Amino acid sequence: MEVMASGALTTVQDLGRGGLTHLGVGHCGAADRDSLTLANRLVGNAEGAAALETTLGGLVVRFDRTTLIAVTGAVCPLRLGHRRIDMNAPVYARPDDILHIGTATAGARAYLAVRGGVDVPAVLGSRSTDLLSGLGPAIVRPGHCLPVGGDAASPPAVDHAPPRRLGASTLDVVLGPRDDWFAADARSILLAEPFRVTPRGNRVGVRLDGPPLRRRVRDELPPEPLTCGAIQVPPDGQPLLFLADHPVTGGYPVIAVLADADVAAAAQLRPGDDVRFRLAVP
Amino acid sequence: MRAKRYGQHAVLIEVDDLDEVVALHAALLRDPPPGVTAAVPAARTVLVRYDRRATTMDKLVSAVAELPSGAPDPKSQAPVDIPVCYDGADLDEVARLCGLDPGDVVARHAAGEYRAAFAGFAPGFCYLTGLDPALRVPRRATPRTAVPSGAVAIADEYTAVYPRSSPGGWHILGRTAMSMWDTHARPPARLAPGTRVRFTEVTA
């Protein structure tokens, strides 16, 4: 398939490269794994096949042969050739059909899966582009031709999936590991006040703006491991919620970590959204 | 040893110094308690991820506390010898900050027995422990926008080799031609936590 426009940012993503964190290589992979795996199921791929992740829409691709495709994630108007098509459903693109993924109206990241997967070479076990470490395929740009893999083993098992509600305004967190480094009111602020998503976010993390979370302990924190979903608080008190391309270690305290189930929702936050945090049920 | 919950399926184990981190990480690799899926070392902490279907945080923390202690056998593995040309841009400044001659700085750095403690910052960037305390200097007030690949540098209690050109705030003592990272090699990193390292002075 040939990329004709790539919007704000389009990358190839699968489920990432595991097991190399101790060498300084982050996990990477689709920011919203739920949407990636759904798109792959819809076209009959293995769940972890490589697909395109596009940010806020604007991706246009032309197919040179008949290809089964599906788009999931951020809600975008879709056009294939001259007809409108729907998200969350497999659709056949015919040779020379052009798919337009319009501007997202809800959510931030949409996923285009093609039957057979995006067949760029794997790097350290993954086809994902890691913006922070520079590993994996280049960022997708207009003019790129991306190979599509051979037909997947099984026919698609579903022909439509219910859309997921995007823009969840409340995310579950587990406090710690460094919540005790913060002033007494920081925990209650984190769990009571809304935080606004700033435009300065990317696949590394979502930068939030809200009442500052003030520190009690002023020591310098020796570098500590970071994970996807960790909420780190730099000295300005404005939390940074890490996504797929997070650094493997960092020197600011982590006040709380998102519940696993809500990391995908965090990856669909868009600038201007308000988000609240509440304690996860253990 | 202190344990702190880190999300729903990880625990951060905090110890007193880098040597304990290296020992704990080595013990976790050698003898992982049931349910452990990954162990990531850092400066004073090791993050232990686990499968919640296989264990609980309390069980895991007890198992970690009972791991046989003791640093990895220093003779268990041959050190990686890294040839260094000590002509770094910050050699004179480090000498001034430490109250030493530049030649002393080089001699002390090259005499050290180091061990890779943990990675971070970039693929293959390992924080090496074992720096002579006389060479302990804070990071540069203003980081460089581009530190060249192969730069051998120090900051705080660490020394490291930059695996590729990147911004950086460490003091550059020299450079090596030895590659620290090759995406196509297995393993891709020359150094991993636990690797012993020596620096040998070479002339350009």
ipTM: 0.91
pLDDT tens, position by position, A202-228: 999 999 999 999 999 988 889 999 999
Interchain contact B188–A (C-beta under 8 A): yes
CB spacing of B118 vs A249 below 8 angstroms: yes
Residue B73 has pLDDT above 80, yes or no: no
User: Rounded distance, CA B63 to CA A132, Å?
Assistant: 35
| A25 neighbourhood in chain B, CB within 8 Å | 123, 188
User: Rounded distance, CA B74 to CA A235, Å?
Assistant: 39
Can you give the pTM of this predicted structure? 0.92
CB spacing of A230 vs B7 below 8 angstroms: yes
pLDDT score at A118: 98
pLDDT tens, position by position, A141-183: 999 999 999 876 678 877 888 877 776 689 999 999 999 999 9
% of chain A surpassing 70 pLDDT: 98
| A258 neighbourhood in chain B, CB within 8 Å | 7
> Region B122-146: what's the mean pLDDT?
92
Tallying the residues shown for chain B, one arrives at 204
Comparing alpha-carbon positions, the chain B residue that sits nearest to A231 is: B7
CB spacing of B118 vs A280 below 8 angstroms: no
d(CA A146, nearest CA chain B) in Å: 22
Interchain contact A248–B (C-beta under 8 A): yes
Q: Between B29 and A145, name the one with better pLDDT.
A: A145
Strand ranges, E, within chain B: 2-5, 10-14, 36-41, 45-50, 80-84, 114-119, 126-129, 144-147, 151-155, 158-161, 166-168, 171-175, 196-201
d(CA A145, nearest CA chain B) in Å: 23
d(CA A42, nearest CA chain B) in Å: 28
Residue B16 vs residues A228, B20, B126: alpha-carbon distances, Å: 26, 7, 20
Comparing alpha-carbon positions, the chain B residue that sits nearest to A175 is: B7
d(CA B2, nearest CA chain A) in Å: 11
pLDDT score at A207: 95
Average pLDDT, chain B: 93
10-residue mean pLDDT series, chain A (282 residues): 98 94 93 97 95 97 96 97 96 97 96 97 96 93 96 77 80 96 96 95 94 92 94 93 94 95 95 96 72
Residue B74 has pLDDT above 60, yes or no: no
User: Rounded distance, CA A23 to CA B180, Å?
Assistant: 11
- Asked if residue A126 lies in contact with residue A14, where contact means CB atoms within 8 angstroms, the answer is yes
